[in-house]
Amino acid sequence: MTITRRKALALGAGAALAVPAVQQTRWLTKDFTRADFDPTLPQAPAGHRLWRNWSGFYTATPQEIFSPESEAELAEKLAGWQGRVRPVGSGHSFIDLVPTDDLMVDVSRLSGLYSVDVEAKTAVFGAGTRLRQAAMLADAEGLAFPNLPDIDVQTLAGSYATATHGTGREMTALHDRVLGFRLITPAGEIRDVTRDSDPAFFAAGRVSLGALGVITQFTLKLVDRFALRRQVYLLPMDETFDTMLERARQHHYFEFYVLPHTGHCAVITHDLHEGPIEGRQPSRDEDFIGAFKTMRDVLGWWPWARRKAFEAYVTTQDDANGRVEDETDISWKLLATSRITKMNEMEYHLPEANGEVALREVVAAMESRADTFFPMEVRFTGQDDAWLSPFNDGVRCSIAVHTAANEAYDTLFDLAEPVLRRHGGRPHWGKLHSLGAEDLAALYPRYDDFLALRAAMDPTGKFLNTRTAKLFGQPFPS
Amino acid sequence: MSPKIIILLILLSFAGLVAFLVLPSRFDALTPSAADIAAAQELRPNNPALAAIYERSCFSCHADVDAQAPLTGHRAAWVPRLKARSMERLVASVQGGYQAMPPMGFCPDCTEIEFRALIAFMAGEVGQ
């Protein structure tokens, strides 16, 4: 058979259409749900309770979830309890710091604003107060938290215990506002701790993973109530990466989300605002996450089209600077947002100077997989001096990677974590990571001091679970 | 038609697709108004004990429109739920956890009676 030029062209055109059609069909039939994903809750044994963390990744069926009404009641309980104990906040950690089969202590009844000194800008809060409630109560007194994380349903105790942070290179992590705390030891003794009364315990206790006992109240240093202007831009990735350090210096609060396979980032700035407040509009974050997932589900096999689709969308936005949001409100109403789409998350805090290089590598690694779609978050945090604070040696750049809760999370551990570790990253205590005691001791100069203090406070390992035992290099069960 | 115009049309159709995807998904009677959103932040149960539970356990999500939980006092969101699923099933959802709400809805110490009272309050029944 002779192949004429016309036939060859027709065959070529047919192949050119057939190949994408096959690839498209194949991609559309993909199921991204991981094989071991099971949304059903376990049945708690008779007499036991059921607990689940926010992401649904961890569940537990403790013998008891104890919600003390008073510190005295808690002290008595701890003194008499012979099994294991783990404190629980709002269950927003992505890693298993909380699960236990024995006793979970929920401090949410120890909540609210106990006292305030408006002149000195100090306030005593119950440790179980959730951040949103605490911010609202402070606001009523004309005071504010200088910084808040991007979600605010965590308790004060849970957020401080894990070194939860917001963003802003001149801003420190939340626990740096602690002037003092009251802790019930594993033996049931009540201790009041300040920087002056016990400097070592103060340095260890502010970020302590619920390992030294149960903290019941905090004395905090606040600031005057203030308003912010929030602006959100969709900017090209390279432009964002090139200017990230400069922008972090320019704005009080600066962060951005890398939007994989779109060539763009969503850049968010908050700056002090004086004047009339317009109020925050309902967030569109969830709509965007849904759109990124749909683009992955439909066009994932064809990265060029995925990128061009989003680039074309960006050109339809009115603002020539790429600005898609501009609003003003009281600080606590703008700094935190709600997260509806459940995900698993890993976050490492890197020396600021390594941030850009590491980020480019992480993005390249995550984009090497066509199935990634979840935005990656980049933030900055200033230095403090808690022994286990990831930020205790200077400004750090935090890079967070996510996967949908029902999808594979191997990208976090196999692709992102090696890069983040290689660039000097320290893991967020409340998020997924694979580190053990030896790794952590190499990252934290005072780690051994913390371990010694923990062993002195809890010689029988009452406050250990599988995860904390790994972090502290302890056998479990001992 | 020139290749340039074809490419332009393709890009515009892509933009339309993305714009459609990021459109807010709630454009119906259940969408709370600005007044509903503001009211949710102010409402509290009359009973001080219930108000304390509400503030520590429910407020973070049910007074925040972005949490996408039915807003406190927004009857348009609550009435259909109560009709379709009944108070018993709503209480069961709190106890077992539902979507973003963890088992026991941030109140492990709450009784079934307290959950009923909190739901009734959030659903806009005055005087709880």
Q: What is the pLDDT of residues B52-95, one digit of tens each?
A: 999 999 998 999 888 889 999 999 999 999 999 899 999 999 98
In 3D space, the residue among B42, B17, B23, B58 whose CA is nearest the CA of residue A282 turns out to be B23
Contact map slice: B 49-78 vs A, CB within 8 A: 52, 55-57, 59-61, 64-68
User: Between chains, do A316 and B19 touch, taking CB under 8 Å as contact?
Assistant: yes
Q: Which of A8-17, A201-210, A377-386 has the lowest mean pLDDT?
A: A8-17
Collapsing DSSP to helix, strand or coil, A346 comes out as strand
| Sequence letter at residue A418 | P
CB pairs under 8 A between A and B: 115
Yes or no: say if A412 and A368 are a contact pair by the CB < 8 Å rule. no
CA distance A128 to chain B (A): 8
Q: Average of pLDDT values for A299-325?
A: 89
DSSP B33: P
Residue linked to tokens 């102010």: B42
B24 part of contact set with chain A, CB < 8 Å: yes
Within 10 A of B96 (CB to CB), how many other CB atoms are there?
15
Which residue on chain A is closest to B68 by alpha carbon? A340
Q: How far apart are CA A99 and CA A95, in angstroms?
A: 10
Yes or no: say if A270 and A284 are a contact pair by the CB < 8 Å rule. no
Q: Is the ipTM of this complex over 0.85?
A: no
Q: Average of pLDDT values for A464-475?
A: 98
Token reading at A227:
């308003």
Which residue on chain A is closest to B54 by alpha carbon? A133
Sorted by sequence, the CB contacts under 8 Å of residue B86 that are 6+ apart come out as: none
pLDDT value at B10 more than 70: no
pLDDT value at A27 more than 90: yes
Q: What is the pLDDT of residues A225-282, one digit of tens each?
A: 999 999 999 999 999 999 999 999 999 999 999 999 999 999 999 999 999 999 988 8
Q: Average of pLDDT values for A40-49?
A: 89
B100 part of contact set with chain A, CB < 8 Å: yes
B61 contacts on A by Cβ (under 8 Å): 153, 338
Helix (H) or strand (E) segment spanning residue A416: none
Sorted by sequence, the CB contacts under 8 Å of residue A68 that are 6+ apart come out as: A74, A77, A105, A107, A109, A110
User: Between chains, do A282 and B24 touch, taking CB under 8 Å as contact?
Assistant: yes
Q: Which of A48-62, A414-428, B75-89 has the highest mean pLDDT?
A: A414-428
**What's residue A155's pLDDT?**
96
Helix (H) or strand (E) segment spanning residue A79: helix A71-80
- Indicate the residue of A106, A153, A310 with minimum beta-carbon distance to B108: A106
User: Between chains, do A309 and B18 touch, taking CB under 8 Å as contact?
Assistant: yes
CA distance A404 to chain B (A): 14
Q: What is the pLDDT of residues A136-181, one digit of tens each?
A: 999 999 999 999 999 899 999 999 999 999 999 999 999 999 999 9
A288 contacts on B by Cβ (under 8 Å): 22
**What's residue A292's pLDDT?**
95
CA distance B99 to chain A (A): 9
Rg of chain A on CA atoms, in Å: 24
A291 part of contact set with chain B, CB < 8 Å: yes
User: Between chains, do A337 and B19 touch, taking CB under 8 Å as contact?
Assistant: no
Q: Average of pLDDT values for A48-63?
A: 94
Q: What angle do CA A4, B3, A18 make, to 5 degrees?
A: 50
A249 part of contact set with chain B, CB < 8 Å: no
Q: What is the pLDDT of residues B93-128, one digit of tens each?
A: 998 888 888 889 999 999 999 999 999 999 998 655
Within 10 A of B54 (CB to CB), how many other CB atoms are there?
24
CA distance B47 to chain A (A): 16
Q: How far apart are CA B19 and CA B44, in angstroms?
A: 39
A128 contacts on B by Cβ (under 8 Å): 56
Token reading at A164:
């939860």
Strand order in the sheet with A227-236: A323-330, A227-236, A264-273, A253-259, A376-381, A396-404, A343-351, A426-427
Residue A477 preceded by cis peptide, ω within 30: yes
**What's residue B29's pLDDT?**
60
Supply the DSSP string of A29-69, one letter for each residue. Answer: T---B-TT---SPPPPPTT---EE-TTSS-EE--SEEE--S
**What's residue A154's pLDDT?**
95
pLDDT value at A310 more than 70: yes
**A261 Ramachandran zone, left/alpha/beta (phi>0; psi -120 to 50):** left
| Sequence letter at residue A232 | V
According to DSSP, the β-strands at A103-106 and A85-88 are: parallel
pLDDT value at A93 more than 60: yes
B42 part of contact set with chain A, CB < 8 Å: no
B93 contacts on A by Cβ (under 8 Å): none
A287 part of contact set with chain B, CB < 8 Å: yes
